[in-house]
Amino acid sequence: MHCYSKLSLLALASVASIASARPSSLDTRGAANEACTNGKAIYITSNTAQNSIVAVPIAQNGSLIVNQGSSTATGGSGASGITASSGAAAGPDSLFSQSAIALAGQYLFAVNPGSNTVSMLAIDAQDATKLTAVGSPATLPGEFPNTVAASDKYKIVCVGLTGATAGVACAPYSSAGIGAVDALRPFALNQTTPPGGPLNTVSQCDQTTLYVTVKGDPTVNNTGFLAAFPVQNTRSSCHAAASVASTGVTSSPSGTAVLFGSEVIKGSTDLFVTDASFGGAVLSVDATGKASTVGKGVIDGQAATCWVAISPATNTAFVADVGVDRLVEMSVTNATILGSPIDLTAISNGDPGLTDLRAAGSFVYALSPGNGTTDASVVVVNALTRAAVEHVSVASLGLTKSAQGMAILV
Ligand SMILES: *[C@@H]1O[C@H](CO)[C@@H](O)[C@H](O)[C@H]1NC(C)=O
Ligand SMILES: *[C@@H]1O[C@H](CO)[C@@H](O)[C@H](O)[C@H]1NC(C)=O
Ligand SMILES: *[C@@H]1O[C@H](CO)[C@@H](O)[C@H](O)[C@H]1NC(C)=O
Ligand SMILES: *[C@@H]1O[C@H](CO)[C@@H](O)[C@H](O)[C@H]1NC(C)=O
Ligand SMILES: *[C@@H]1O[C@H](CO)[C@@H](O)[C@H](O)[C@H]1NC(C)=O
């Protein structure tokens, strides 16, 4: 059993050897005891018309203290995608994405899909639920931003957009706010604003090399892909700021179709990805940025496996399915399914399934936005014992079925 810190994860995720596009060494700074401590708070976006970030503090024993939670406006607007099969506003999974909110150091970044902006907020050092806007939301060169990644090391924020003008754009940030947003790296998705999904939409940006997962649509022979954009100028820290390359390498690893969530696996060059069409996979990224499939886990009875968090306590992946009320634990070596699924129906009060999730210390926190009938809720699972510790409604904090994204402060 290993305990790695969030810090070392971020460091790997933005490793200096990006110049060779191959993060070869694990930066172990901070991989000390902090690694094993539980989180301080979780953050979720409401993705409502007045978009807000809801913060819920975590007690020392890992449980959530909902009555001490807060809600802070981002200064932008939420918006939901359109479920292609029904034409209705999407929810749960209103944005068809992982990482609608990202944490870097003491800053949170959240997408505002209804106003085509990204917001930056500072977390108070003494009170993890006290958030303050930093500057104004930054306007993006595209439509329907649905996923964001940020690098504390390089002070860069990147946003994936999946509307009629789709792609990725990045900007530097400082304590004064978000700087000039660069030009869109376009993706030809032929989408609308709001997009019809979940198929054929941008899924996630992961600040590594900047990795972006994009879902295909097998029904029309449209193959999903992983795009890798290297971070540049990473060594000249005194002068040129780091930036993200304007062109990337895209690949469609064999056996994948609807790439959704992803997380960089610590101590390796691999990514753990979810694929909504079958389950999870481990991808290896070569020196040119091309990804290939190392191992694939096909989950029996899955509906849409979309979100993943790697637990620092177990170094295993926990994946969530928007249509099945359980978590599945998988190997980060080859995506083999470990044990039986962690069934949550006994504790969850009718949740239809789970979306965004995060892990810190021994615990995994998973959001169930509900379906409009059931409350938006968070379930807490002990990664070591696999026991469901608690299930709490977060409806009192203004979260509904449009809630999306989760970040965790350690
Ligand atoms: C965890 O801590 C919280 C807050 O201190 C407390 O209310 C709760 O009962 C504790 N849970 C367990 C399982 O000990
Ligand atoms: C783009 O989408 C429109 C409908 O939204 C469709 O009629 C058209 O065939 C699509 N084009 C491509 C190249 O897929
Ligand atoms: C998808 O592409 C394959 C290979 O090009 C082709 O054989 C198949 O008919 C196509 N299917 C659809 C639904 O277009
Ligand atoms: C998957 O990796 C595990 C180690 O994490 C190993 O024990 C197992 O044999 C591997 N399975 C396959 C099918 O390669
Ligand atoms: C939401 O889910 C509950 C429990 O599964 C179900 O009874 C209810 O009909 C669903 N509501 C909607 C609007 O789909």
Closest residue (by CA) to atom 10 of ligand 4?
334
Q: Is residue 289 part of a domain?
A: yes
C-alpha 189/C-alpha 197 separation (Å) is 11
Which residue type sits at 277?
Answer: S
Which residues have a Cβ under 8 Å from the Cβ of 355 and sit 6 or more positions away?
92, 93, 306, 307, 320, 322, 366, 367, 368, 369, 404
Do 189 and 200 meet the contact criterion of CB atoms below 8 Å apart?
yes
CA of 318 to the centre of ligand 2 (A): 36
Q: Is residue 13 part of a domain?
A: yes
Q: Is residue 398 part of a domain?
A: yes
What pLDDT does residue 180 have? 96
CATH of the domain at 166: 2.130.10.10
Q: Is residue 1 part of a domain?
A: no
Of the bound ligands, which one is closest to the alpha carbon of residue 66? 1
> What residue has token string 């946003």?
159
What pLDDT does residue 288 have? 87
Q: Is residue 2 part of a domain?
A: no
At residue 300, does pLDDT exceed 70? Answer: yes
What pLDDT does residue 18 have? 20
Q: How many CB atoms lie within 10 A of CB 14?
A: 26
Of 160, 205, 211, 158, whose CA–CA distance to 187 is shortest? Answer: 160
What pLDDT does residue 240 have? 54
If you average pLDDT over every residue of the chain, what do you get? 87
> Which atom of ligand 5 is the closest one to the Cα of 350?
4
Q: Is residue 261 part of a domain?
A: yes
Q: Is residue 256 part of a domain?
A: yes
C-alpha 308/C-alpha 262 separation (Å) is 6
33 lines ligand 1 (CB under 6 A): no
Give the chain's domain count. Answer: 1
pLDDT digits (tens, 9 = 90+) for 325-374: 999 999 999 999 999 999 999 999 899 999 999 999 999 999 999 999 99
What pLDDT does residue 199 have? 82
63 lines ligand 1 (CB under 6 A): yes
The angle formed by the CA atoms of residues 274, 278 and 284, to the nearest 5 degrees, is 45
Q: Which helix (H) or strand (E) holds 275?
A: strand 270-275
Q: Is residue 238 part of a domain?
A: yes
Pocket test for ligand 5, best of 374, 401, 402 (most atoms within 8 A of CB): 374
The SS3 call for residue 397 is helix
Burial class (CB in 10 A: 0-12, 13-18, 19+), 171: buried
Name the residue range of residue 80's domain: 7-409
> Which atom of ligand 1 is the closest one to the Cα of 65?
4
CA of 203 to the centre of ligand 5 (A): 25
